[in-house]
């Protein structure tokens, strides 16, 4: 398989939801890989990022649980053989789990084409990074919400900006031995950190960054951060974001961003085609959840469950389902890969 982001570029050019659903159904029918497994092996985090639900004590108290090694083996047996992508770390911090490198190893044994870990990076030492790379990790995604010590540590409570910079240097060193290992930066943009995007090229100078994604702040629960206005982000698009896009292109960095128009406009209605595609391809697994209600990875392999529950017919019907509109209560971001 080529670059995962090349696949994203191709998919983004297909506008018809029906054609996309037909492709998913065809891959399902032919026994091909077509979905992503999004795994939170532990429901905990060592940070209390102000824009995240882990900053809410009530929500945080409900986010508990750790997958055992036996459970991880069963999940791999049930789902990994048909996965196109394995993302470890979705809403929690995967580096807290002692089995992190083992999960990467399992993903490689099941020949998953693309394996990614999303982390704040605070606990990932150079030795741990080497171990992950040695087991076959394709991409490390680091979350950051500021390009200065003051902003980074203010928004990422419990974080240390100097430790983050140390990890970037560690990655550059490990990358020499494992040049196929990719680094992605996820930067959640708000009114307080948007102007610091101009500092990213200098901060990342000499660091082999493959991808940067800019994610405008969204309300995802009762978080400590409350300024969800995107007005300043939109007003800084031409002066800050567009120059960053140009600089990234010159350095060969893939940058994933919403359009200026999309930031400026609130989409009050959208069709449900995207939701059907997500339902078919997004398999979330955690100590509390597994893909669909009633799916037991201890009992079923993916194919048996699909046969029992007529998932193939469900996908086929989705190809011809009429588009429905629904009200959106948050801004729906249409990201472009540049």
Q: What is the pLDDT of residues 231-243, one digit of tens each?
A: 999 999 999 999 9
Whole-number pLDDT of residue 332: 47
CA distance 173 to 233: 34
Q: Given this model, what pLDDT does residue 288 score?
A: 92
**Which has the higher per-residue pLDDT, 273 or 107?**
107
Query: At residue 45, does pLDDT exceed 70?
Result: yes
Is residue 132's pLDDT more than 80?
yes
Compute the mean pLDDT over every residue in the chain, rounded to the nearest whole number. Answer: 90
Give 56's pLDDT tier (boundaries 50, 70, 90).
Answer: confident
Lowest mean pLDDT among 75-89, 126-140, 183-197, 212-226: 212-226
* Architecture of the domain defined by 4-138+153-182+205-210+269-337: Alpha-Beta Barrel (3.20)
Domain boundaries, the chain: 4-138+153-182+205-210+269-337
Q: What is the tens place of the pLDDT at every residue in 7-28? A: 666 666 777 888 999 999 999 9
Sequence-separated (6 or more) residues with CB below 8 Å from residue 3: none
In this prediction, residue 274 carries a pLDDT of 81
The per-residue pLDDT for 335 is 56
pLDDT band at 1 (very low <50, low <70, confident <90, very high): very low
- Within 10 A of 118 (CB to CB), how many other CB atoms are there? 23
What's residue 176's pLDDT?
A: 98
- The percent of residues above 90 in pLDDT, for the chain, comes to 76
Choose the most confident range, by mean pLDDT, from 12-16, 126-130, 268-272, 292-296.
Answer: 126-130
**Tokens 């807290």 found at:** 96
Q: Phi and psi at residue 299, in whole multiples of 5°?
A: -105, -40
Alpha carbons within 13 A on the beta-carbon side of 50: 18
Cα(241)–Cα(260) distance, rounded to whole angstroms? Answer: 9
Task: Decide: pTM greater than 0.85.
Answer: yes
Strands (E) across the chain are located at 35-39, 83-88, 114-119, 139-144, 182-189, 211-216, 254-258, 269-271, 282-285, 325-327, 335-337
pLDDT in tens, 145-165: 999 999 999 999 999 999 999
């Amino acid at each position: 398989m080529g670059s995962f982001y090349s696949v994203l570029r191709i998919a983004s050019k297909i506008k018809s939801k029906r054609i996309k659903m037909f492709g998913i159904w065809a891959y399902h029918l032919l026994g091909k890989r077509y979905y992503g497994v999004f795994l939170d092996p532990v429901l905990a985090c060592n940070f209390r990022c102000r824009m995240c639900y882990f900053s809410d004590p009530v929500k945080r108290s409900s986010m508990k649980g750790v997958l055992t090694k036996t459970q991880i083996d069963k999940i791999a047996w049930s789902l990994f053989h048909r996965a196109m992508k394995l993302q470890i770390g979705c809403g929690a911090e995967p580096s807290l789990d002692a089995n992190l490198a083992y999960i990467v190893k399992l993903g490689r044994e099941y020949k998953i084409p693309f394996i990614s870990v999303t982390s704040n990076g605070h606990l990932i030492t150079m030795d741990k990074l080497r171990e992950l790379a040695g087991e076959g990790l394709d991409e490390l995604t680091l979350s950051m919400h500021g390009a200065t010590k003051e902003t980074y540590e203010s928004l990422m409570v419990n974080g240390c900006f100097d430790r983050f910079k140390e990890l970037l240097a560690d990655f550059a060193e490990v990358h020499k031995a494992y040049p196929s290992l990719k680094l992605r930066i996820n930067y959640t943009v708000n009114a307080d950190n948007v102007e610091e995007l101009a500092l990213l090229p200098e901060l990342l100078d000499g660091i082999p960054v493959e991808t940067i994604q800019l994610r405008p702040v969204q309300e995802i629960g009762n978080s400590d951060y409350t300024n969800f206005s995107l007005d300043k982000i939109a007003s800084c698009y031409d002066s800050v974001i567009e120059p960053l896009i140009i600089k990234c292109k010159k350095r060969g960095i893939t940058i994933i961003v919403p359009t200026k128009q999309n930031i400026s406009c609130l989409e009050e209605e959208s069709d449900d085609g995207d939701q059907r595609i997500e339902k078919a391809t997004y398999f979330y697994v955690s100590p509390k959840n597994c893909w669909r209600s009633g799916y037991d990875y201890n009992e079923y392999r993916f194919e048996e469950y699909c046969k029992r529950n007529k998932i193939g017919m469900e996908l086929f019907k989705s190809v011809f389902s009429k588009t429905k509109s629904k009200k959106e209560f948050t801004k729906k971001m249409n990201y472009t890969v540049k």
